Each structure stands twice: as C-alpha cells, then as structure tokens.
Copies of this chain bind each other. A is one copy, B any other.
C-alpha cells in the first residue's frame, strides 16, 4: 500500500517534507525560459517540464514525496495537462511518492471517471478530493484505492484565510470540518496500512495549529497532508502539532517557498534546483527541531 510506502520513505529520509510543484511559467528563472519565436502553451509546458525534472533531480534523494498541483498545468490547456502527467511520471520513476493535488469532487458516476483519470490511469499514488457530495461522491475513489493500493487526502480544514467561512460553522456541538473529519475516519477504517495509518488521509492546513492539534487527537489513524508552510505563513511550531508522538503521521508541503527559493537572498548564489534543495533541507531541519522541542526524537 502506498500509505505504507509513504510512511517508510519519511522514516528513511527523516524528512516529512513534500516538494510542491505548483509550477507556473512565470516562476521560471531566465535560463529555463523559452527561446522560441512564439510562446505557445505547448512551449510553456515544455519549459515547465524541464524545470520540474531538474527540481525533482535536485531533491529526490532527500525528500520522500512531491505534490503536483493540477490548476497550474490546466492553465496551459492539453499541453499543460500532458506536462502534469509527465512530471508525475518522472517523479515516480525517481522513486518519489506522488500526490496529485486536484481536489476533484462530483456525483458517483462522475467521481468514478475522476478516479479512473487520477488514480487508476495516473502515475499518482495519492489524490486530493473534496467531500461536499458525501459518501457516494467518495466511494468511487475508495474503490480505486482498494484496487490499486493508492490513497486519497480528503479536504478537512484548509489553510486559507476564509477556510472557516463554512468549515467552522457550528453543527450541534461540532464544527463542519470536525463532521467531515469524523467521516474521513470512518471511511478510512477498511483501508488501514501496516504503518497504522489509513489510505484515506486528510488535508489539514498548517495555518490553524489549534484546530490541527485537536484533529490529531480526533483522527489517530489518519495521515495528514499539511499545506501552508512558508509562503502561506505557518512556521515549524504550527506544523509540529500535526505529528503523532513518534514524529510520524504527517507530511508538510511547501510549493512557492521551494520553487522560488532561488529568488531569496539566502539562496541567491545557487541555481534554482540547488536553491530548492537547500530550502528543503532547511525546512527539514526547521521541522525536526520543532518536533524535538515537543519532545519527539
């Protein structure tokens, strides 16, 4: 099961970091820019793929996983979507656990088509999904997980400022995101890995540490995908509450911070891939130090 592979990779690398490839053409340093006469979608996608592969080469021995955000690729149409799958294929060949971040959701028959697209036919090992449709919009993804050993991360508590607008609404003593969390726990029970975590994980934003701490207790067997480190403002202390007392159970994503590290003064002497690597190592040290302060070795 891919959840066991993810847990093992985190233990081996001692690095609960996910390199987020939310790559826009505008993020590329000059040496990756197109020299073609016309800057078509397909030209942009080609440049983004080259950049992504170099980033993957630079980090694949130190991080366990990458998260590839579909939106940035969909901007460049069919060529962009080709680049999305090619990026995941390359990361997978380099041994990384691959998370497709596409937050898909629909009624059952349509969710089945999404599961086919993003779990069964895809190099991705995990897919992010949105639970607004309830179980029959989730079931096709679970069936695909059953068939392939892959997993999903269900949106529970998102990292953005207005995440609470609906998610924090009070429902007879619980918040909406807690009601979603309770279902995620239930849905995940039949898909438990030998690592003690289920193939049905949760997205829990790093920017709400008080809520994350309570969710960690509420969902002892649910693996957390944690966005929000760096560019979105969460620090390592905020992050640490997402881990269990063995320092496992979560992987922390950084996208803009990592891809654009080459623009920061600290890393400005490095190439973009080397800057991404240095950023990932600093992020690892930052998180591991925070875990240590919480008494986790």
Question: How many copies of this chain sit in the oligomeric assembly?
Answer: 2
Q: Is the interface of A mostly helix, strand, loop or mixed?
A: helix
Q: Is A137 an interface residue (CB 8 A)?
A: yes
B130 touches A105 (CB 8 A): yes
| Chain A window 104-120, contacts with chain B (Cβ cutoff 8 Å), 1 for yes, 0 for no | 11111111011011100
A158 touches B110 (CB 8 A): no
A75 touches B117 (CB 8 A): yes
**What is the size category of the interface that chain A forms with chain B?**
35 or more
Q: Is A121 an interface residue (CB 8 A)?
A: yes
B134 touches A165 (CB 8 A): yes
A160 touches B180 (CB 8 A): no
A-B pairs with beta carbons under 8 Å apart, 9 shown: A71-B111, A74-B81, A74-B114, A75-B116, A80-B117, A105-B105, A107-B232, A130-B130, A135-B165
Chain A contacts to B: CB under 8 angstroms: 22, 24, 69, 71-72, 74-75, 77-82, 85, 103-111, 113-114, 116-118, 121, 130-137, 155, 158-167, 169-172, 176, 179-180, 183, 227, 232, 256
